Amino acid sequence: MNASNAYAPPKAPVADIDPTSAGLVLAGRGTRLLAAILDGLIGGVLVYLPMVLTGDLSAAIELAVRSGNPLAFYSGFAGIGGALSLVGFIVWAVITFRLVARNGQTIAKKLLNIKVMRGDGSRATLARIFWLRNVVNTLLGIIPLYPLIDHLFIFGERRQCLHDKIADTIVVNA
């Protein structure tokens, strides 16, 4: 019988794609760490600094401690510091959203000249970066030791954290 089996697996050779063969250079581990630290600092300054400067943050903490109700802390966001913090968060979110959508970069990644791409070197979509790199990774963060394990994966050959492997992304020099 010479008929081909329509259900047989394809016979084409399949090989992993090496992004360095496309001229891409993987971002250094230290650069990625610095970008994560800078992003945290930038977000923290934009969101928390207004509450610190107006005294709303210390008042909110004091109220929560005095009342014994941790949720009372959020009443501190009702003052001018809370309003300015909300504005800071919106500014941070809009800038970050635009940079990630345009080029796969956060504010710090833009400053450090690195960006997120697909594992094959193609452009990573905003949805992939948001849902798979951030939302799924945040949900997995409730598992004990997951954040540590996630970050230790960067010591592999392709310098991918676990969240990069989940989203099929790499971080390269821009």
- Above 80 in pLDDT, residue 120? yes
Model pLDDT, residue 73: 86
pLDDT digits (tens, 9 = 90+) for 62-74: 989 999 999 888 8
Q: Does residue 168 sit within a domain?
A: yes
Tell me which of 35 and 5 has the higher pLDDT: 35
Model pLDDT, residue 167: 97
Q: Does residue 39 sit within a domain?
A: yes
Model pLDDT, residue 1: 52
pLDDT digits (tens, 9 = 90+) for 56-106: 888 888 989 999 999 888 876 788 998 999 999 999 999 999 999 999 999
Tell me which of 130 and 23 has the higher pLDDT: 130
Average pLDDT of the residues of the chain = 92
The C-alpha atoms of residue 60 and residue 130 are separated, in whole angstroms, by 31
Model pLDDT, residue 2: 59
Count CB neighbours of 39 within 10 A.
17
Model pLDDT, residue 75: 79
Return the percentage of the chain with pLDDT > 90, whole number. 74
Q: Does residue 82 sit within a domain?
A: yes
Q: What share of the chain is helix, strand, coil (3-state, %, to 5)?
A: 65, 5, 30
Model pLDDT, residue 72: 87
- Above 90 in pLDDT, residue 115? yes
Q: For tokens 């796969």, what's the residue?
A: 104
Asked if residues 89 and 127 have their Cβ atoms less than 8 Å apart, the reply is: no
Q: Does residue 64 sit within a domain?
A: yes
The C-alpha atoms of residue 75 and residue 131 are separated, in whole angstroms, by 30
Please, which pLDDT band fits residue 14 given cuts at 50, 70 and 90? low
Q: Does residue 20 sit within a domain?
A: no
Q: Does residue 12 sit within a domain?
A: no
- Domain interval for residue 61: 26-173
Residues near 135 by Cβ (< 8 Å), separated by ≥ 6? none
Q: Does residue 2 sit within a domain?
A: no
Model pLDDT, residue 99: 97
Model pLDDT, residue 27: 97
Q: Does residue 8 sit within a domain?
A: no
Q: How many domains does the chain have?
A: 1
